[in-house]
Each structure stands twice: as structure tokens, then as C-alpha cells.
Amino acid sequence: MQRRNPLSSRLSFPRSLAVVAATVLSVNLLCGFSIFHKKKYETAITKDTQQPDKILFDRAIKNIEHGNYLAARLTLNTLINTYDTSEYLAKAKLAIADSWFREGDAHGLAQAEIEYKDFILFYPNMEEAAESQSRICEIHIKQMSKPDRDNAEGQRAEDECRQLIVQFPNSKFREQAEQKLRNIQEILAQKEMDTAQYYFKRGSLPAAQGRFSFVTQQYPLFSGTDEALWEEAEAFRRMGDRFEDQEADALTRIVRDYPVSLHVAAAKSRLTSMKRPVPEPDAEAYKRMKYNLEHQTREGFFSRTMGIVTGRPDMGSAAKMGAPIMVAVRPTAPVSVPQEAAGSVAAGASGGTGVSDVGIGVVGNASALEQKTDARLSAQAEGEHKASVGATGLSTDPTAKPQAPLPTNHPITKQQIDALKKQQAAAMKAQKKAEAAAAKKGLATPDTPPTAPAAPGATNPASPATPATASPAATPAAAQYAAPPR
């Protein structure tokens, strides 16, 4: 009896795997060369005729379905240039755009966008014009990255989807465009949320509050808007009692507009402790939020793994119900910016809506330039000028009323406070030593003691004639750090 070679049995299994791998690779290559590849064209013309333009169109469609896009575009261009009055002319231009779209690479998508825009320009009343605008939106969605990357494509996709809803309000693609817009805004909002949380953890409370406020106004359907409102209220709480009204407004929105949020109970408790009214939850908001939470999707293990390679964002947590925001909200100025500089209050006025923007326009009557008063002179308000406001928002006028310092994005740390205290103690010790030495020699005591080092973040250092013995908490940065929570 012939004995079995153990070495050959060990090599048989890897050899079988190699054969299977080679077979799979060959099949994929054949598919890539369009031997087995065929994807049906969606808008093909089924009219049976033997006209030459129809024959060319059918031939091009078969090439597109089999992935031979170059040959298809050559055939379609022949149709367009030869039969300029053909009834298939519009379909041929759309098919050229579709061939570029199916190629899928960056160059193909860019060419497809140009062709789709040309089709909308030449045939705005056709039903396919709305489909072309939908494809343009899809082009930019395909090129979107994760929230921690550049969001230029996301902003372009948002604009194109809004254009579809505005330009073709009765199209069958409207509902799809609204869902795409909700998906896009989920990614854009997540980027702003990540930036706001970075500032919040860093201690830059005004910058974090501005980002949180923008998220809550621009993206109310974002899955983390309730979290943004909660952290915005926390930022207001840490910045001091004068922001108590803004803190209460953020907590009120959580209870009223996001009744299913995990922060509702804590928001009600804080409103009660602040002696503020607790609103009733909105019924429509409750229905919308519950529906969106129930219809969230999560990517599987394979999709998450491939997402690391492809860089595609996860849109599963996007809202499925609710009207997306159709206009861009202008971000508000952070609370660390003085009101006069931010344009929220006119210079020298106690209230108002001063605007710091500068606009230009065409003058209808040129004689007004000579007859009316110079606008630069008439707009000058009485009271303190903007230039007399320091970098910290405090008035540099010695006769002005004392003001509380504005919060800062660069809070002083505990280590800096300890170092400042040591420097001040060393300065006082040197002063006493100088006084003792002068007393021994019978000299007069110096009238101008050495100046203590200024606190980090201070903008007005002590003058040589004034001993800098103030507490470190006298500066805006130290005041923000040392303010105890309520």
C-alpha cells in the first residue's frame, strides 16, 4: 500500500486558496473590462424605429450600460453634430452627462456637473432638469469627507440641494432632496459641534458659546442640538451671573423643543433653582424627535471598517422628519467682543442695532451728495467713541462708569496664579528689605516701590507710581477662572 506524502497534504490547502483567489481576481478584472458588466440605463428610449439618429442613440446607450463610456460619448456627439434637429437631442446631452457621472472618478464627476448644468440651462422646463439638479447634489455628496476634514464639498452639496428645492418645488425629487439636505446638515453640524467642544474643553468659553449658538440656530434638526444647548448653558454659567438670562433661554429651549433629550430633567432642575418658569414640551417637537430617534441607523462592522479607508461620513443619525433650514444664519459675535465693535449697539447709545458692515450702492440722484450733510458727520453719535474702548471691552475714559470685564478666551490657569503670587511675594520681600537697609543708613524710605509683575492677560499694567498689589483675580482672565459656580 502506497503511503501518503504528508508534505503534499499540507501544501494542498494553501494551493486551493491560491486557486480560489486567482479565480475571484480574474472575475473582477473581467468585470472591470466590461465583459460581464452591464448596468441598465434608467432613461432609455423604448420607441422602436429604424431612424439613423435613434440607431446612434441606442448604440450609445448599450455602450453606457456595458461601461464603454468613451465610445458612448463619441457616438452621442456624432448624433448631436449630425442631426441637430433630432428629437433625441436633449436625451443625448443628458446621456453624455450620465456617462461622466457613471465613471465616478474626480475628473468624471467634475465633467458631469458641467454637462448637467448645461442641460438645465438649455432645457429648464423638461422633467429631466430636476433630475440633473439632483445628480449635481449627489456629485458633491459622493465627495464629502468626515466631519473632521474639509467641509467644502458639504457646503457645495447643501447649496445644490437647496437649489433643487427652490427651483423645482413640484418635482418628484423634492422629498429626496430634503432628505439629502438633512443628511448633509448632520455632517456640517457635527463639524461645528466638534470645534465648539474643543474650545469648551480648552476653557475658551466665549469661542465655544459662539459655536454652540451657531449650531442650535443653523441646524435645529441635528442629532446633537440638545447637547449643544446644554453645553452652551454651561458656558454661560461659568462666565458669570450677568449671562443668567442667556443661560435660562438655552435651558428653556431644551425643555420645550427637545423633550426627549437626556438633559431635560437637569434643565428643569436648574430652571427651578434659578426661579425661572419651566415651559411645557412642544407636542410637535416631541413627535418629531421621537420619530427621528426610532429611525436612526447604525453602520455595520464592515461599513465602519471600509469607512476608515474611503473616508465617507456616517449619515445614519441624520433626522428623517422635519423641514431643513433653507437659509444660512449669520453667526453672532462672541460675548468676548465689545458690543460697539460687534455692531450690536451703536457707539454712545444705550441700545439699538448698530451694524458695523459697510455697503455700497448706486446713487440715483447725484445732487444729494452736494445738498445733504456728509453721512460720516451725521452718523457721529454723542458719547464715547469706539476708539476709546480698550481690547478688553473696558472704557479707557477715566470719567466713565466702572464696567465688569468681558470674558476671555485665554483664561489664566492655576499654575499661572501660583507663579504670580510668588512673584508678588518676592517683590514685597525685596521692598521690605530695601526699607530696612535704608532705615539702617538713616536714609528716607523710597516713595516708589518696585512694580510687581502684571498678571497674565492684563491689558493695563500698573504704573510706576502705583504699587501693583492687586489680587490676581482683578484681571478679566483671572476673574473668569476664579468665578465660583452658582
C-alpha cell at 475: 484681571
Is 28's pLDDT higher than 70? Answer: no
Predicted pLDDT at 354? 43
Does the residue 279 lie in any domain? yes
Q: Which carries the bigger pLDDT value, residue 39 or residue 252?
A: 252
Is 7's pLDDT higher than 90? Answer: no
Half-sphere exposure for 404 (CA within 13 Å, toward CB): 13
Q: What does the pLDDT average to over 16-23? A: 60
- In whole angstroms, give the CA distance from residue 102 to residue 116: 13
Amino acid identity for residue 170 in this structure: N
Beta bridge partners of 389: 395
Does the residue 261 lie in any domain? yes
Radius of gyration (C-alpha) of the chain in whole angstroms: 34
Does the residue 252 lie in any domain? yes
pLDDT band at 42 (very low <50, low <70, confident <90, very high): low
Q: What does the pLDDT average to over 9-22? A: 55
Predicted pLDDT at 408? 85
Is 406's pLDDT higher than 90? Answer: no
Percentage of the residues of the chain whose pLDDT score is greater than 90? 51
pLDDT band at 473 (very low <50, low <70, confident <90, very high): very low
Q: Which carries the bigger pLDDT value, residue 140 or residue 344?
A: 140
Predicted pLDDT at 345? 54
Does the residue 220 lie in any domain? yes
Predicted pLDDT at 443? 63
Largest CA distance in the chain: 123
Q: What does the pLDDT average to over 357-372? A: 67
Cell 469607512, located at residue: 307
Q: Which carries the bigger pLDDT value, residue 253 or residue 349?
A: 253
Predicted pLDDT at 416? 86
Q: What does the pLDDT average to over 432-461? A: 64
Predicted pLDDT at 338? 82
pLDDT band at 290 (very low <50, low <70, confident <90, very high): very high
C-alpha cell at 194: 466638534
Cell 427621528, located at residue: 292
Q: What does the pLDDT average to over 202-220? A: 94
- In whole angstroms, give the CA distance from residue 116 to residue 394: 55
Predicted pLDDT at 5? 52
pLDDT in tens, 373-390: 665 555 444 544 444 455
Predicted pLDDT at 309? 74
Does the residue 283 lie in any domain? yes
Predicted pLDDT at 304? 75
How does the average pLDDT of the chain come out, rounded?
79
Predicted pLDDT at 441? 80
Could you give the number of structural domains in the chain? 1
Is 446's pLDDT higher than 70? Answer: no
pLDDT band at 167 (very low <50, low <70, confident <90, very high): very high
pLDDT band at 25 (very low <50, low <70, confident <90, very high): low
CA distances from residue 466 to 120, 166, 423 in whole angstroms, order as listed: 73, 65, 17
Q: What does the pLDDT average to over 127-152? A: 94
pLDDT band at 459 (very low <50, low <70, confident <90, very high): very low
Q: What does the pLDDT average to over 34-54? A: 64
Q: Which carries the bigger pLDDT value, residue 421 or residue 464?
A: 421
Is 425's pLDDT higher than 80? Answer: yes
Q: Which range is least confidently modeled, 53-62, 172-181, 292-301, 451-460?
A: 451-460
C-alpha cell at 85: 434637429
pLDDT band at 412 (very low <50, low <70, confident <90, very high): confident
Is 403's pLDDT higher than 50? Answer: yes
pLDDT in tens, 78-112: 999 999 899 999 999 999 999 999 998 999 999 99
Predicted pLDDT at 83? 92
Q: Which carries the bigger pLDDT value, residue 111 or residue 27?
A: 111
Does the residue 358 lie in any domain? no
Predicted pLDDT at 463? 42
Predicted pLDDT at 303? 75
Q: Which carries the bigger pLDDT value, residue 93 or residue 482?
A: 93
Q: Which range is least confidently modeled, 6-10, 54-58, 243-247, 461-465?
A: 461-465
Domain span at 230: 203-292
Q: What does the pLDDT average to over 446-474? A: 47
Does the residue 412 lie in any domain? no
Does the residue 45 lie in any domain? no
